[in-house]
Each structure stands twice: as C-alpha cells, then as structure tokens.
Amino acid sequence: MSKNAAECDGTAIHRDAVDTALEAMPSEEDMDKLSTLFKVLGDPTRVRIMWAIERTELCVCDIAEVLGMTKSAISHQLGTLKDANLVRYRRDGRNVFYSLDDDHVSDILKIAIAHARHV
C-alpha cells in the first residue's frame, strides 16, 4: 500500500519550518476577512459584475445589459459587493454609477484570472 502524499513520514516536527509558518500566519480576524472575501468572489455573477466595471464605471442598467440579466438581480449582487467593500458607487442626478472600490480589487481580479488561465 502506498502512502498518501498528505501523510507525514514519521513523527518529527520540523520546528524551524513550523515557526516560519506561524510567524507568517495572519491574525484570526484577518483570516476571517479573507475567507469572507473569497466567499463573495466565489459567485460567478459577482465576478462577472466586477469584470464589467473593472475599466469603467457603469450603472445598473448598463451592467444588466452587459451580463444579460435583470436589473433586480444585478442590484442584489451589487449590494453584496458593496458590503464586502469591493465596489463603490457615486450618484449623478438620478443615476448611480458603480466602479471597483480601489486598485487592490482590480489587482486581485487580474492575478486571479492569470492564475486561472495558467492551470
């Protein structure tokens, strides 16, 4: 029977490696925030909305047209993205325009698509 690659060979703890990993480990609060971010990004519609507004701000009607969805469905997803601080909005009269919250969000999208294309 072959050993599973995830199994450890023996009982020795590699203290230097463990200490290095522990030193680099973010706080529990930061890990919770990161986990929430990945959950929000785990929805294809939300990711598509973010790509739609990655280069230019759009209103709900514009986003609905780009994605071929209803304004109601887009509005619902934008609420989740706003709550996660991934998108921001600005009012111009009766119109509300959405854009990515900052360059970090754009960087996350670009790095993620580069990785997805690589695998």
Q: What is the pLDDT of residue 9?
A: 72
pTM recorded for the entire structure: 0.84
pLDDT digits (tens, 9 = 90+) for 33-74: 999 999 999 999 999 999 999 999 999 999 999 999 999 999
Judge whether residue 4 has pLDDT over 50.
yes
Q: From CA 9, how far away is CA 71, in angstroms rounded?
A: 55
Judge whether residue 10 has pLDDT over 70.
yes
Sketch the domain layout of the chain as residue ranges.
15-118
Per CATH, is 15-118 categorized as 1.10.10.10?
Answer: yes
Q: From CA 98, how far away is CA 119, in angstroms rounded?
A: 31
